[in-house]
Structure 1
Amino acid sequence: MTVWVGTSWKMNKSLAEAERYAEDLLRGLGGMELGAVRPFIIPPATALSTVAEVLGSGSGVLLGAQNAHWEDHGAWTGEVSVPQVADAGAQLVELGHSERREHFGETDETVRLKVAAALRHGLTPLLCIGEPAAVRDAGGSAGFILDQAARALHGLTPGQLSRVLIAYEPVWAIGAAGRPAAPEELHGPFAALASAYGQQVAGLLYGGSVNEENAAALLGIPHVDGLFIGRAAWQADGYLRLLETAARTAALRHRAGSAPTTTS
């Protein structure tokens, strides 16, 4: 099973800072055995081609864009298209993040159009879903995120769905004001997602105040196939330590799963 571990830099890093991060990451990965772990990084659009050039094609690191329009070209001032981010080196597109929904008017319908555009051009959509605190407190987390996912993925064929990553990022757990989720708070949402999509999508990821202290525990939650990390991975050394943690956890899980069963 692939364990996805990635980070989005949001609106951070100059070209020089992005280049330095990519160089440090490449150096650190040179002596690391990742096993089943698949790393990905999502720089701002301005740094995509720079980071792509540093990483090259043999690094094993997927490169992503933080957003892309659903149209291939046209009079969409300030936007970038899926073909444009692909041309700059992106292989993955982050879509539907709660910040985009809250501050830029994204809807389930526009997210659906963007997911379809990414798939149309051979990129991996990373669909972000998550509920606000009021929904969690009312006990509606599972229903809310399943509805978000269903609307964004409506109309996809099984083959298309198999190329989608879903990142569950509860709104109350992300950002500077977010609080880390306790593992028991995530069991229900991930059980619901696994029941609906676990055998159909490429992976179910968790994101929200992930750090070096809680990464292993989060990866131990049933149905969690990876982590989508924020601030804790904005420096290359922090990201590399998290990749090491993920690789160790994945190896232990594999050994436990493949151990022979004994009877007395």
Structure 2
Amino acid sequence: MRKVIIAGNWKMYKTQTEALEFLRGFLNYVDNTPDDREIVLCSPFTALGTLSKNLHGSRIRVGAQNVHWEEVGAYTGEISAPMLAEIGVRYVVVGHSERRQYFGETDETVNLRLKAAQSHGLIPILCVGETKQQRDAGETEAWIISQLEKGLVNVDQAQLVIAYEPIWAIGTGDTCDADEANRIIGIIRSRLDNPNVTIQYGGSVKPGNIDEIMAQPEIDGALVGGASLNPKDFARIVNYESVH
């Protein structure tokens, strides 16, 4: 049975004070959210402890936005899986296109991070997706399959979430058509050993398109960027109208 997971990726937004302010509004909106979906907030490292403490005992899980592959070491500015696990983090985004583009992440380092997360009980959310140039050149499928083949070496697919994020749709307002996102996610699923892996769509997910996205049979959730920063907007996304 595939689990529905709606995750908010706050990126480099929200101080601890702002995170608490978000919770004060958001928690009231999700009191009656159906039990068939999991809610995850992926905050900057500085807010993780605050979120974990204030969400203890709630249904909302806490996620980080990256993790290093070593447990300890001289890696200034990095965070290890044991550090995240100790403060109650459950999920961690790995291989986001912004990490790949701005910080030189490769499929090989993504693979190392995935395995490190899993070795300490964290569930990684592996991000894959193509650029506009790759899509226009007809390279979408081959590119994503390559990302999967290199990234998932020796990774436990029973403890994994995948997010399909077409890079050209992230933060642009240009959402991938729901049926096309469904087609690509179907291709991703066909390449996995475990057909029950939760596969999310990400890329300009908004209150106005979440119902159509979640009506697609292959899509199991969403990785939400900008719209997750507003408690009312993110609550509307979490409380999408299910037509499955």
How far does residue 41 in structure 1 lie from its aligned partner after superposition? 0.7
Residue type at the aligned position of 1:243: V
The TM-score, its normalising length taken from structure 1, stands at 0.88
Paired with 2:25 and 2:149, the residues of 1 have a C-alpha distance of 39
In the alignment, which of 165, 176, 182 is matched to residue 169 of structure 1?
Answer: 165
- Give the equivalent residue in structure 1 for 2:34: 34
C-alpha RMSD over aligned residues: 1.5
Q: After TM superposition, which residue ranges in structure 1, 4 or more long, deviate above 4 angstroms?
A: none
C-alpha deviation, 1:198, in angstroms: 7.6
Query: CA offset at residue 117 of structure 1?
Result: 0.2
Tell me how far apart the structure 2 counterparts of residues 225 and 33 of structure 1 sit (CA, whole Å).
16
Alpha-carbon separation, structure 1, partners of 2:41 and 2:216: 23
Name the counterpart of 2:22.
Answer: 21
Which secondary structure does the structure 2 equivalent of 1:109 belong to? helix
- Aligned-pair CA distance for 1:201: 5.0
Q: State the identity %.
A: 37
Equivalent pairs, count: 243
Deviations 1:20-45 (A, max 9, x none): 11232223323x13231111110100
Q: Does 1:44 align with 2:44?
A: yes
Measured after TM superposition, the shift of residue 182 of structure 1 is: 1.4
- After TM superposition, the structure 1 stretch with the greater mean CA deviation from structure 2, 84-93 or 111-120, is 84-93
Which residue is 2:109 aligned to?
110
Q: Cα deviation per residue 1:1-58 (whole Å; 9 max; x = unaligned)? A: 421111110000111001111232223323x1323111111010000000111111x2
Indicate the residue corresponding to 1:98 in structure 2. 97
Q: How big is each residue's C-alpha offset from its partner over 1:104-162, in whole Å with a ceiling of 9 and x where there is no partner? A: 00000000000000010011010001100111112221121111012111123xxx211
- Please show how residues 208-223 of structure 1 align to structure 2 within 5 Å: 208-223=203-218
- Residue 232 of structure 1 is matched in structure 2 by 227
TM-score using structure 2 length: 0.95
Gaps of 5+ in 1: 254-264
User: 1:198/1:224 Cα in 2 relative to 1: closer, same or farther (>3 Å)?
Assistant: farther
1:70-92 Cα shifts (integer Å, max 9, x gaps): 00011001111111112222111
C-alpha distance in structure 1 between counterparts of 2:106 and 2:233, whole Å: 33
**Structure 1 residue 204: deviation in Å?**
0.5
Among candidates 176, 179, 182, match of residue 177 of structure 2: 182
